[in-house]
Amino acid sequence: MRLYVDTANLKEIREAVSWGVVSGVTTNPTLVAREKFADFHAAVREIAGMVEGPVSAEAVSLETPAMLDEARTLAGLAPNVMVKIPMTPAGLRAVRQLAAEGIATNVTLVFSAAQALLAALAGATCVSVFVGRLDDAGHDGMEVVRETVEIFERHALDAQVIAASIRHPLHVVQAALAGADVATVPFKVLEQLFRHPLTDQGIERFLADWQELAAKP
């Protein structure tokens, strides 16, 4: 399973990429709005230059023709831009056309295996299952990831499964066990993935022992 960082913050992306474990970036309109970019397209270009893997940028139009215009513009910003399209009939119509044009898509706001199946049939490159938001609503978000992975495998569908709306490190482990292709993870959760109290204690102990040795005449 690959890890993407789920943020539009340039500092966070730079830092996460420097750790050597992140191969892509996902953004959404909320994350982009938070950064108050003067020029959104320039920001997408800059982010796309920071990673080798895909950078998801979302189309915000609701009708297919406008979505297609937006998607073509976004995809033209850099070769690794993947266009996020919402899980609606208009969105899937756009996905079908974009697939024909060779433009990679990430169908977003997927909350059921049925929606994931439709997105894959329309030709989506990726589908993003929003695990945390499902959990928040009292459902088992990871079960939707498991079902989607099983359906795609059983029917040899090409779309990749992204576990999105990740809230904590356990979600990442569960997504990996469920067979998700990608987990897209907020920066804070990425930081949490590194941590274990025994690692900190171990480093402290090793350093103390080493310094004691060095202090001996």
The answer to whether the beta carbons of residues 170 and 192 sit under 8 Å apart is: no
Of 3 and 155, the one with the shorter C-beta distance to ligand E4P is 3
* Structure token digits, residue 178: 């469920």
Find the helix or strand (DSSP H, E) in which 185 lies: strand 182-185
Among 149, 164, 175, 190, the residue binding ligand E4P under the rule CB under 6 A is 164
- Tell me the number of residues near ligand E4P by CB under 6 A: 11
Using an 8 Å Cβ cutoff, are 95 and 122 in contact?
yes
- Does residue 84 carry a catalytic annotation? yes
- Asked if residue 180 binds ligand E4P (CB under 6 A), the reply is no
Residue 166 — φ and ψ, nearest 5°?
A: -85, 135
Q: For ligand E4P, give the closer residue by CB, 69 or 187.
A: 187
Q: Decide if residue 174 touches ligand E4P (CB under 6 A).
A: no
Q: Which of 11, 84, 188, 216 is catalytic?
A: 84
Binding region for ligand E4P (CB under 6 A) out of 36-44, 110-118, 124-132, 139-147: 124-132
Q: Do the beta carbons of residue 129 and residue 162 sit within 8 Å?
A: yes
| Residue 10, token pair as written in the block | 């340039």
- Contact between 184 and ligand E4P by CB under 6 A: the answer reads yes
132 binds ligand E4P (CB under 6 A): yes
Two structure tokens written together for 152: 């795609």
Identity of the residue, 58 or 146, whose beta carbon is nearer to ligand E4P in the bound complex: 58
